[in-house]
Amino acid sequence: MLFLALAVTLAACPLAAPLSRLVGRQAGAVLALPLLLSAALLLAGGSPHAVVEQWLPWMPSLGVGLGLRLDGLGLVFSLLVLVVGAGVMLYSTRYLGRERTASFYVLMTAFAAAMLLLVLSDDLVVMFVAWEATTFCSFFLIARSGEGAREPAIRTLLVTAAGGLSLLAAVVVMIVVTGTTRLSEVLAHPVWGSDAAFTVLVAVLLAVAAFTKSAQFPFQSWLPDSMVAITPVSTYLHAAAMVKAGIYLLLRFSPALADVAVWNVLLVSCGLTTALLGAVSALRRHDLKELLAYSTMSQLGLLVAMIGVGTPAALTAAVVHTVAHAVFKSALFMLVGVVDHEAGTRDMRRLAGMRLRMPATAAAMGLAAASMAGVPLLLGFISKESMFAALIESPWGPGLAALMTAAAALTSVFTVAYSARLVLGAFSGRGDRLVREASPLFWGVPALAAAASLALGAYPAPLDAGIGGAASVAAGSEQEVHLALWHGLNAELAVSAVVIALGVALVLGRRRVDVVLAPLRSPVSGLGVVDALRAGLIRGGGVVGGWSGSTSPRRHLAVPAVCLALIALVGLPGLGELPPVAGDRSRPWDWALVALLAAGVIAAVRVRTRIAAVVVTGVVGFSMMLWFFVLGAVDVAVTQLLVEVLTVCVMVLLLKRLPARFARQTLRRRIPAAVIALAAGLATALGVWALTGRRGLSPAAEYYLREGYEATGGSNIVNTILVDFRALDTLGELTVLGVAGVAIVALLRARPLAASREVDRVTGSPLEDAWQNGAFLRTATRVIGPIIVVMSVVLLFRGHYEPGGGFIAALVGGAGFALLYLAAPRDHRARIRWPYLLLIGLGVVLGTGTGLLGYLEGSFLKPLGTEVLGVSLSTPLLFDVGVYLAVIGVILASLNKLGRDDPDPAAEPPQDPDAGDAADAPGRRPHTPHYHPTHREVKTR
């Protein structure tokens, strides 16, 4: 039932976009239905004093699930969210213009769903996600309101997202300490009573989260700022729903925290401060909507203070006032929207110059404002009475009780004054311009809400059960609630009477009040603080970024090298007793390899020309190949050999575009480099010596060696690991490879290659002519080429049983292409023009597709085998073909893009005998005349 209600609400979201394309603003009328249906479902399935729970596993290993729980508190809030939401949807059909409405409806329905999820969720993780979702919906709804809304939207996001982080911290702390993510279990956990530090921490974090959401001091500034959003958004988010999320959170955790002093002090002091601040500010506003925004802040402040008091009476009063506030404030916002829509302004100074003949709107606004002011017979009166009563009976002695009551009463005096200011400001104009009543469909919804304020105020009994249920949950004990208009002559009635009398006095003397209040200026503007913090943060980021802002690789690469040495230095004393070395880690002939490799490394750091550097690094690579061979890694050795060959091929392609010699380095730079290098090398050697080779065969290796052949039918265990056991790893690596290939191509398309160097050549020698020069290689390629192709295919297919496999086969094939390239007399004649990007894509697709085939037997990449016409085909083989294609694609991409200059469209066609080959685009190398042997002008250079 709960899932159904949530699903119905959620269903409105995907429906919203097509619907509003189809019928424009009228979509709201349809979208109200799922919200109402969902509300009906909850009403039918839930009851104020019972609990309905549903659970759907989401991340079972973490114990996180989509847990929904409907209790009295959830019921009241979800009904508020859904019914007010439906009302706003209906209202929007008249308020919105002919502009595009799809994003509005999508976001509003998404917001309703998020809010419903928030108040129903019984899982802390889900609750946090829903909380953040409301933040984002609010951001987008404000931001879509036009150019001027950008900054307010960002400020709102910054403040509420900061609160979200606070909630996240609270959620994490609660989950870690209680060991469960279920909200109901967390709240029932004994830790709240026993661990004071935990309780205080969570109380502060939750309070901060709620304060940002409900615009409480010192986070209040975003709420008036957000009034740039259109009126339906303000009505729903910033009056009835989103700001109530903070109230919900506080009420939800009240049973665990109501006795915590920090909680009481924070909530009461911040709440009452906000209440007074908001009320005084509201009295100074000329914009009707802004006035309502400050009033919302003020009323929420009262609610927060009531929750802070924490007695059952105070919590009951908070729930009553939440309901009352939602009803009258949504009505007021919508009615201001009606006035704004019809009169074209909501500034009371401009409205003073008009005459609004809008009896229904005026009557409804009068009623709703009276409810806000706490005039008897209206729901607002009942809620205000119960708040005064709870404050007078608050548990911290008569002094504090009197102080708090006085603050609340003063707020209420101002409330009366600004309620009157609102109505009078809208309708007391005596100008010439006549504004007529809007259509009943427009003012109907808010009038209904205003009427509800009256009806429920006069006869509040229908609310008893629901509010009692919510109060019971918030108080943690069963509460019987009987709302009534008349409680006899008592203290709270006296306070109410004084409040109304003083309020009326303020209304009568409103011109004097304006004169007193107008010059008041807050010394610090909340918005200014937010903006200053933001600018400061960005500046701070710039400063921190500046420390590492260099684009010079050596500056960045030095850091990890130094750190490696430092780690070794710090870790050395902590090594302690090492386990004995298992077996004999070295063989006598190893030393020959070490010597060879050392010679290569020393040469690599000392050589002065680029070509020599490439050659000696090749020496190191070949020593590595021998090392792998000696260590029993045949496939690895073969791969290393082939990669070494291909790396040298690609480097040679690029060397002609770089200077021949390296720049001279000063001794002052060489010495620190050498010191860091030696330290890092020493640390590495020490680490490898101390930390490896001190155990037997690992269990994983033992499994692969014992079971590998049986399980896969392949005798090359390394290859079976690649394509059977750990194929997902290989698929990931395949993808990285493909991405690298695509990146190479993209980079070369975006940026030109550096120009080739001018080379002095000996004229008249056969070396000068590429055709003669390549004769030997060309002849050899004719013989070797086919052999390489056959070898490549054979290696691919036998990889499962003997050295070979997709990687090796593709590298052999790639070497074949490199040979073709080298043997060609001219770049563009080389037969390497294959669709390399397609090959890369095919490889990745084939690998993934093979993985998907595995689902036939239950899981991704599960190996399958079948016999077709006596030939055994298996998905690992297919997977290896994918590897093959991707690797060959990358090699072809680099040969094609680096080895061939793209034809220059501006250049004239080359005049040489090879021109006219239709399949190959004619390439030209303006900077490499030696590639155009027939160009005689070369010699004149």
Partner 1 sequence: MTVAITAGLLVAGAVYLFMQKEMLRVILGFILLGHAGNMILLAAGGTSRREEPFGAPGDLSAVADPLPQAFVLTAIVIAFSITIFMLVLAVTGREGDDATDGSPEERTEDAR
Q: Which of residues 616-635 bind partner 1 (CB under 8 A)?
A: 617, 620-621, 624, 627-628, 630-635
Should residue 842 be labelled a site residue for partner 1 when binding is judged by CB under 8 A?
no
Asked if residues 931 and 826 have their Cβ atoms less than 8 Å apart, the reply is yes
Should residue 674 be labelled a site residue for partner 1 when binding is judged by CB under 8 A?
yes
Phi, psi dihedrals of residue 86, rounded to the nearest 5°: -60, -40
The SS3 assignment for 910 reads coil
Should residue 608 be labelled a site residue for partner 1 when binding is judged by CB under 8 A?
no
553 or 573, CB closer to partner 1? Answer: 553
Candidate residues 103, 269, 311, 647; the one interacting with partner 1 per rule CB under 8 A? 647
Calpha distance 339→351 (Å, rounded): 9
Candidate residues 50, 59, 265, 705; the one interacting with partner 1 per rule CB under 8 A? 705
Residue for token pair 């949807």 = 89
681 or 854, CB closer to partner 1? Answer: 681
Strands 433-436, 865-868: pairing is unpaired
**Binding span for partner 1 by CB under 8 A among 600-608, 815-823, 905-913, 918-926:** 600-608
**Binding span for partner 1 by CB under 8 A among 40-48, 646-654, 770-778, 899-907:** 646-654
Residues 216-245 that bind partner 1 (CB under 8 A): none
Closest CA to 207 of 262, 154, 152, 155: 262
488 or 553, CB closer to partner 1? Answer: 553
Binding residue count for partner 1, defined by CB under 8 A: 122
Calpha distance 888→935 (Å, rounded): 35
Strands 865-868, 871-874: pairing is antiparallel
**Binding span for partner 1 by CB under 8 A among 14-22, 360-368, 433-441, 697-705:** 697-705
The SS3 assignment for 54 reads strand
Phi, psi dihedrals of residue 445, rounded to the nearest 5°: -65, -50
56 or 700, CB closer to partner 1? Answer: 700
Should residue 648 be labelled a site residue for partner 1 when binding is judged by CB under 8 A?
no
Tell me the two tokens of residue 710.
Answer: 């049986």
Please report how close the Cβ of residue 677 comes to partner 1 at its closest, in angstroms.
Answer: 4
- 67 membership: H or E segment, kind and range: strand 64-70
Should residue 689 be labelled a site residue for partner 1 when binding is judged by CB under 8 A?
yes
Candidate residues 55, 709, 771, 797; the one interacting with partner 1 per rule CB under 8 A? 709
Candidate residues 802, 902, 912, 914; the one interacting with partner 1 per rule CB under 8 A? 802
Closest CA to 281 of 478, 395, 417, 87: 417
Three-class SS string for 401-433?
A: HHHHHHHHHHHHHHHHHHHHHHHHHHHCCCCCE
Please report how close the Cβ of residue 574 comes to partner 1 at its closest, in angstroms.
Answer: 19
273 or 623, CB closer to partner 1? Answer: 623
Should residue 572 be labelled a site residue for partner 1 when binding is judged by CB under 8 A?
no
Residue for token pair 């108080």 = 475
Residues 715-734 that bind partner 1 (CB under 8 A): 715-718, 721-722, 726, 729-730, 733
Q: How far is CA 912 from each of CA 764, 819, 899, 923, rounded to the nearest angstrom?
A: 19, 24, 20, 11
Residues 525-564 that bind partner 1 (CB under 8 A): 550-555, 557-558, 561, 564
DSSP label of 900: S
The SS3 assignment for 871 reads strand
Should residue 138 be labelled a site residue for partner 1 when binding is judged by CB under 8 A?
no
Please report how close the Cβ of residue 667 comes to partner 1 at its closest, in angstroms.
Answer: 9
Please report how close the Cβ of residue 925 comes to partner 1 at its closest, in angstroms.
Answer: 15
Calpha distance 231→336 (Å, rounded): 8
Candidate residues 145, 281, 383, 639; the one interacting with partner 1 per rule CB under 8 A? 639
Calpha distance 564→683 (Å, rounded): 7
The neighbouring-strand residues paired with 434 are 355
Calpha distance 815→809 (Å, rounded): 10
**788 Cβ contact partners less than 8 Å away, ≥ 6 residues apart:** 812, 813, 815, 816, 819
Three-class SS string for 17-31?
A: HHHHHHHHHHHHHHH
Three-class SS string for 333-380?
A: HHHHHHHHHHHCCCEHHHHCCEEEECHHHHHHHHHHHHHHHCCCCCHH
Residues 427-446 that bind partner 1 (CB under 8 A): none
Residues 850-909 that bind partner 1 (CB under 8 A): 887, 890, 894, 897-898
Please report how close the Cβ of residue 580 comes to partner 1 at its closest, in angstroms.
Answer: 12
Please report how close the Cβ of residue 194 comes to partner 1 at its closest, in angstroms.
Answer: 46
DSSP label of 764: T
**Binding span for partner 1 by CB under 8 A among 166-174, 234-242, 341-349, 641-649:** 641-649
Asked if residues 67 and 122 have their Cβ atoms less than 8 Å apart, the reply is yes
The SS3 assignment for 55 reads strand
Please report how close the Cβ of residue 711 comes to partner 1 at its closest, in angstroms.
Answer: 12
Tell me the two tokens of residue 519.
Answer: 């010059």
Candidate residues 586, 772, 779, 872; the one interacting with partner 1 per rule CB under 8 A? 586
Candidate residues 222, 248, 443, 704; the one interacting with partner 1 per rule CB under 8 A? 704
Should residue 569 be labelled a site residue for partner 1 when binding is judged by CB under 8 A?
no
Candidate residues 741, 816, 882, 899; the one interacting with partner 1 per rule CB under 8 A? 741
Q: Which own/partner contact pairs does 190-194 have at CB distance under 8 Å and 24+ positions apart?
A: 192/256, 192/257
Asked if residues 222 and 155 have their Cβ atoms less than 8 Å apart, the reply is yes
Should residue 685 be labelled a site residue for partner 1 when binding is judged by CB under 8 A?
yes
The neighbouring-strand residues paired with 435 are 356
Should residue 471 be labelled a site residue for partner 1 when binding is judged by CB under 8 A?
no
361 or 716, CB closer to partner 1? Answer: 716
Distance of CA 452 to the CA centre of its chain: 41
Three-class SS string for 182-207?
A: EHHHHHHCCHHHHCHHHHHHHHHHHH
803-822 footprint of partner 1 as x/- string (CB under 8 A)? ----x---x-----------
Calpha distance 626→366 (Å, rounded): 93
Q: Using omega within 30 degrees of 0 as the cis cutoff, is the peptide bond preceding 863 cis?
A: no
254 or 894, CB closer to partner 1? Answer: 894
Please report how close the Cβ of residue 704 comes to partner 1 at its closest, in angstroms.
Answer: 5
**Binding span for partner 1 by CB under 8 A among 60-68, 307-315, 572-580, 614-622:** 614-622
Distance of CA 275 to the CA centre of its chain: 34
**Binding span for partner 1 by CB under 8 A among 127-135, 138-146, 353-361, 613-621:** 613-621
Should residue 612 be labelled a site residue for partner 1 when binding is judged by CB under 8 A?
no
Candidate residues 402, 544, 743, 767; the one interacting with partner 1 per rule CB under 8 A? 743
**Binding span for partner 1 by CB under 8 A among 134-142, 394-402, 479-487, 588-596:** 588-596
CA angle 187, 190, 195 (to 5 degrees): 105
Should residue 837 be labelled a site residue for partner 1 when binding is judged by CB under 8 A?
no
**Binding span for partner 1 by CB under 8 A among 268-276, 378-386, 612-620, 856-864:** 612-620
* Single-letter amino acid, residue 107: L
Should residue 759 be labelled a site residue for partner 1 when binding is judged by CB under 8 A?
no
Please report how close the Cβ of residue 897 comes to partner 1 at its closest, in angstroms.
Answer: 8
Candidate residues 62, 736, 787, 915; the one interacting with partner 1 per rule CB under 8 A? 736
477 or 586, CB closer to partner 1? Answer: 586
Should residue 845 be labelled a site residue for partner 1 when binding is judged by CB under 8 A?
no
Candidate residues 697, 780, 789, 873; the one interacting with partner 1 per rule CB under 8 A? 697
Closest CA to 715 of 658, 642, 800: 800
**Binding span for partner 1 by CB under 8 A among 125-133, 301-309, 463-471, 678-686:** 678-686
392 or 680, CB closer to partner 1? Answer: 680
